[in-house]
Amino acid sequence: MIPTVGFEMRIVTKGNVTIKFWDLGGQQKFRTIWERYCRDVSAIVYVVDAADRDSIPISQSELYDLLTNSSLGGIIPLLVLGNKIDKSESLSKQALVDQLGLETMTDREVCCYMISCKDSINIDAVFNWLIKDSKTAK
Protein backbone atom coordinates (compact mmCIF):
# COMPACT_ATOMS: atom_id res chain seq x y z
CA MET A 1 0.00 0.00 0.00
CA ILE A 2 1.29 3.46 -0.81
CA PRO A 3 0.56 6.54 1.30
CA THR A 4 -2.38 8.64 0.21
CA VAL A 5 -1.11 11.73 -1.59
CA GLY A 6 -3.45 14.57 -0.67
CA PHE A 7 -6.80 12.85 -0.82
CA GLU A 8 -8.76 10.29 -2.78
CA MET A 9 -12.50 10.13 -3.22
CA ARG A 10 -14.19 6.74 -3.19
CA ILE A 11 -17.80 5.72 -3.49
CA VAL A 12 -18.78 2.49 -1.79
CA THR A 13 -22.19 0.88 -2.09
CA LYS A 14 -23.41 -1.62 0.46
CA GLY A 15 -26.96 -2.86 0.15
CA ASN A 16 -29.12 0.11 -0.73
CA VAL A 17 -26.78 2.67 0.83
CA THR A 18 -24.09 4.52 -1.06
CA ILE A 19 -21.33 6.19 0.94
CA LYS A 20 -18.99 8.79 -0.45
CA PHE A 21 -15.60 8.73 1.31
CA TRP A 22 -12.92 11.36 1.21
CA ASP A 23 -9.79 9.40 2.15
CA LEU A 24 -7.37 12.00 3.46
CA GLY A 25 -3.61 11.50 3.62
CA GLY A 26 -2.28 11.19 7.14
CA GLN A 27 1.24 12.48 6.54
CA GLN A 28 2.01 15.74 8.28
CA LYS A 29 2.11 17.76 5.06
CA PHE A 30 -1.50 16.80 4.29
CA ARG A 31 -3.00 17.50 7.71
CA THR A 32 -3.78 21.12 6.88
CA ILE A 33 -6.38 19.97 4.33
CA TRP A 34 -8.30 17.78 6.80
CA GLU A 35 -10.48 20.59 8.09
CA ARG A 36 -11.62 21.65 4.62
CA TYR A 37 -12.73 18.11 3.74
CA CYS A 38 -14.42 17.49 7.08
CA ARG A 39 -16.80 20.45 6.82
CA ASP A 40 -20.41 19.46 6.19
CA VAL A 41 -19.73 15.72 6.17
CA SER A 42 -22.11 13.20 7.75
CA ALA A 43 -19.34 11.66 9.86
CA ILE A 44 -15.61 11.84 10.48
CA VAL A 45 -13.78 8.49 10.57
CA TYR A 46 -10.38 8.85 12.24
CA VAL A 47 -8.14 5.82 11.73
CA VAL A 48 -5.16 5.34 14.03
CA ASP A 49 -2.51 2.64 14.07
CA ALA A 50 -3.26 0.99 17.41
CA ALA A 51 -0.03 -0.98 17.20
CA ASP A 52 2.16 2.11 16.89
CA ARG A 53 2.03 3.15 20.52
CA ASP A 54 4.52 5.99 20.11
CA SER A 55 2.29 7.68 17.52
CA ILE A 56 -0.80 7.88 19.76
CA PRO A 57 0.06 11.20 21.46
CA ILE A 58 0.44 12.90 18.07
CA SER A 59 -2.78 11.27 16.86
CA GLN A 60 -4.48 12.65 19.96
CA SER A 61 -3.25 16.19 19.46
CA GLU A 62 -4.00 16.22 15.72
CA LEU A 63 -7.52 14.96 16.40
CA TYR A 64 -8.01 17.59 19.07
CA ASP A 65 -6.72 20.34 16.73
CA LEU A 66 -9.05 19.14 13.97
CA LEU A 67 -12.17 19.01 16.11
CA THR A 68 -11.60 22.37 17.77
CA ASN A 69 -11.94 24.11 14.40
CA SER A 70 -15.11 26.17 14.72
CA SER A 71 -16.30 24.83 11.34
CA LEU A 72 -16.44 21.31 12.81
CA GLY A 73 -18.04 22.19 16.11
CA GLY A 74 -20.50 19.93 17.80
CA ILE A 75 -22.73 18.11 15.41
CA ILE A 76 -20.55 15.88 13.19
CA PRO A 77 -20.31 12.37 14.68
CA LEU A 78 -16.85 10.89 15.16
CA LEU A 79 -15.89 7.27 14.61
CA VAL A 80 -12.39 6.38 15.77
CA LEU A 81 -10.91 3.18 14.40
CA GLY A 82 -7.98 1.51 16.14
CA ASN A 83 -6.50 -0.43 13.21
CA LYS A 84 -3.97 -3.31 13.10
CA ILE A 85 -5.33 -5.31 16.03
CA ASP A 86 -3.88 -8.37 14.28
CA LYS A 87 -0.55 -7.20 15.68
CA SER A 88 0.29 -8.47 19.17
CA GLU A 89 1.54 -5.07 20.32
CA SER A 90 -1.72 -3.28 19.57
CA LEU A 91 -3.39 -1.34 22.37
CA SER A 92 -6.60 -2.45 24.02
CA LYS A 93 -9.72 -0.48 23.17
CA GLN A 94 -9.83 1.05 26.64
CA ALA A 95 -6.19 2.14 26.43
CA LEU A 96 -6.82 3.75 23.05
CA VAL A 97 -9.98 5.49 24.27
CA ASP A 98 -8.06 6.79 27.29
CA GLN A 99 -5.00 7.95 25.37
CA LEU A 100 -7.07 9.76 22.75
CA GLY A 101 -9.24 11.34 25.43
CA LEU A 102 -12.42 10.17 23.73
CA GLU A 103 -14.43 10.11 26.94
CA THR A 104 -13.80 13.82 27.40
CA MET A 105 -15.48 14.60 24.06
CA THR A 106 -19.00 15.29 25.15
CA ASP A 107 -20.12 17.74 22.46
CA ARG A 108 -20.63 15.14 19.73
CA GLU A 109 -21.44 11.46 19.22
CA VAL A 110 -18.21 9.50 19.54
CA CYS A 111 -17.72 5.79 18.89
CA CYS A 112 -14.59 3.62 18.77
CA TYR A 113 -14.00 0.23 17.19
CA MET A 114 -10.88 -1.87 17.11
CA ILE A 115 -10.34 -3.28 13.64
CA SER A 116 -7.92 -5.05 11.35
CA CYS A 117 -8.06 -4.12 7.70
CA LYS A 118 -5.59 -6.92 7.05
CA ASP A 119 -7.69 -9.65 8.67
CA SER A 120 -11.10 -7.98 8.02
CA ILE A 121 -11.94 -7.78 11.71
CA ASN A 122 -14.92 -5.59 12.67
CA ILE A 123 -15.32 -4.02 9.22
CA ASP A 124 -19.03 -4.86 9.22
CA ALA A 125 -19.46 -2.98 12.49
CA VAL A 126 -17.88 0.06 10.86
CA PHE A 127 -20.32 -0.06 7.94
CA ASN A 128 -23.26 -0.61 10.22
CA TRP A 129 -22.27 2.43 12.27
CA LEU A 130 -21.88 4.53 9.12
CA ILE A 131 -25.27 3.61 7.69
CA LYS A 132 -27.27 3.60 10.92
CA ASP A 133 -28.46 7.17 10.43
CA SER A 134 -28.70 6.96 6.65
CA LYS A 135 -32.47 7.42 6.60
CA THR A 136 -31.98 10.87 8.07
CA ALA A 137 -28.55 11.70 6.62
CA LYS A 138 -28.01 14.62 4.30
Q: Are 34 and 129 in contact (CB under 8 A)?
A: no
| Residue selected from 17, 33, 117, 123 as contacting ligand GTP according to rule CB under 6 A | 117
- Rounded to a whole number of angstroms, the minimum distance from the CB of residue 53 to ligand GTP is 14
| Residue selected from 35, 52, 62, 86 as contacting ligand GTP according to rule CB under 6 A | 86
Please identify, using beta-carbon distances, which residue of 7 and 127 lies nearer to Mg ion. 7
- Rounded to a whole number of angstroms, the minimum distance from the CB of residue 130 to ligand GTP is 17
Task: Give CB contacts under 8 A, 24+ apart, made by 61-69.
Answer: 62/31, 63/100, 64/101, 66/34, 66/35, 66/38, 67/105, 67/108, 69/35, 69/38
1 binds, among ligand GTP, Mg ion, none (CB under 5 to 8 A by kind): ligand GTP
User: What SS3 class is residue 50?
Assistant: coil
15 binds ligand GTP per the rule CB under 6 A: no
92 binds, among Mg ion, ligand GTP, none (CB under 5 to 8 A by kind): none
Q: Which of the 8 DSSP states describes residue 61? A: H
Distance (Å, rounded) from C-alpha 40 to C-alpha 105?
Answer: 19
Please identify, using beta-carbon distances, which residue of 123 and 132 lies nearer to ligand GTP. 123
| Residue selected from 45, 50, 56, 83 as contacting ligand GTP according to rule CB under 6 A | 83
26 binds ligand GTP per the rule CB under 6 A: yes
Tell me how crowded residue 123 is: count the other CB atoms within 10 A of its CB: 14
